[in-house]
Amino acid sequence: MTVKYTEDHEWLKIDGDTATVGITVHAQDALGDVVFVELPAVGTVFAQKDTAGVVESVKAAADVYMPVNGEVIEVNEALRADPSLANSDPLGGGWFFKVKLSDPIQLDALMDETSYTTYSAAA
């Protein structure tokens, strides 16, 4: 399974033509304790960089951007019920939504883990 990262601090785990999307450890560290998430509706089609959701913490709110073109096929209802999963397990149980990729070539422009680690250290 391939993992990619965006400059907006989202991660994608790619499995075929589907990607699971969440926020990175860096993002949740910057936000602090997450208290609310707004997830997109299943079936919604987004273009890359569209706002697909919102994450709110005790100290800030931030948009969650669609990292690639695609259709939302599933949302994490467990995260909606317990937003703190974005802090306690951001790369696992704290995922936000799954998207069916409509333009997989866009993945080539995203960062791998090494590139993202360097990028986020400078952020």
Domain-by-domain residue ranges, the chain? Answer: 2-115
CATH number given to 2-115 = 2.40.50.100
Question: Left if phi > 0, otherwise alpha if psi is -120 to 50, otherwise beta: which for 92?
Answer: alpha
pTM: 0.96
- pLDDT per residue rounded down to tens, the chain (123 residues): 899 999 999 999 999 999 999 999 999 999 999 999 999 999 999 999 999 999 999 989 999 999 999 999 999 999 999 999 999 999 999 999 999 999 999 999 999 999 999 999 987
Question: Measured on CA atoms in the order 121, 108, 41, 75, is the torsion positive or negative?
Answer: negative
DSSP of 50-70: -EEEEEEESS-EEEEE-SSSE
> How distant is the alpha carbon of residue 61 from its chain centre?
15
For 101, the enclosing helix (H) or strand (E) is strand 97-101
